[in-house]
Amino acid sequence: MSAPASLVLRDVHVPPAPAWWPPAPGWWLVLLAVAVLVAVPLLWRARRRRRRARWLRLFEAECSSALPPPEQVAAASQLLRRAARRVDPRADRLQGAAWLQFLDGPKGHAFSKDVGALLLDGGYRPRVDPRQMEALRALAATRFVQLMEGRR
């Protein structure tokens, strides 16, 4: 055997560090999962926003097609009754204060104590104040979208 001092030793060659690109297959899966987790809520939100906009356009088109304010009140009431059937199949048959309480929902009294009461007799009045009609239209459009979404 030879003496250790006589052996020719060389430094250990360390291989180069692996390249950062392309990543390992596991990182591709992580990237895909993150992309899906980000994209799905964004797409869902965009779809919901488009659906709301479509319902608002429908409401505005129906109310605008009726020219005199009493006819607009009747059109808004009819649309609200149609939308109410999505939440409760018997809701469209409610009358008077019960109908207004249903439209109020759990959060407010805008229909039963405010301009929303115009829905009860506004379609039968010879004249309706245009400011009241605009306020009712905005209130009814908001509630229409909520009912179409199935929110009580």
Given a contact cutoff of 8 angstroms between Cβ atoms, the answer to whether 130 and 56 are in contact is: no
How many CB atoms are closer than 10 A to CB 67? Answer: 8
Question: Is 50 within a domain?
Answer: no
**pLDDT grade for 86, boundaries at 50, 70 and 90:** very high
**pLDDT grade for 27, boundaries at 50, 70 and 90:** very high
Question: Is 92 within a domain?
Answer: yes
Domain range for 118 is 55-148
Question: Is 12 within a domain?
Answer: no
Question: Is 73 within a domain?
Answer: yes
Question: Is 24 within a domain?
Answer: no
Q: Report how far apart, in Å, the C-alpha atoms of 16 and of each of 13, 19, 24, 71 are.
A: 9, 9, 17, 80
pLDDT tens for each residue of 100-145: 999 998 878 888 888 888 999 888 888 888 899 999 999 999 999 9
Residues 6+ apart with CB under 8 A from 12: none
pLDDT at 17 over 80: yes
Question: Is 11 within a domain?
Answer: no
pLDDT of residue 33: 98
Question: Is 117 within a domain?
Answer: yes
| Number of domains present in the structure of the chain | 1
Instruction: Count CA atoms closer than 13 A to 45's CA, side-chain side.
Output: 5
Question: Is 82 within a domain?
Answer: yes
Residues 6+ apart with CB under 8 A from 94: 84, 102
Q: How many Å separate Cα 28 from the centre of its chain?
A: 32
Identify the residue with better confidence: 30 or 5.
30
3-state secondary structure 44-80: HHHHHHHHHHHHHHHHHHHHHHCCCHHHHHHHHHHHH
The alpha-carbon radius of gyration of the chain (Å, integer) is 33
pLDDT tens for each residue of 32-71: 999 999 999 999 999 999 999 999 999 999 998 878 888 8
Indicate the pTM of the whole model. 0.79
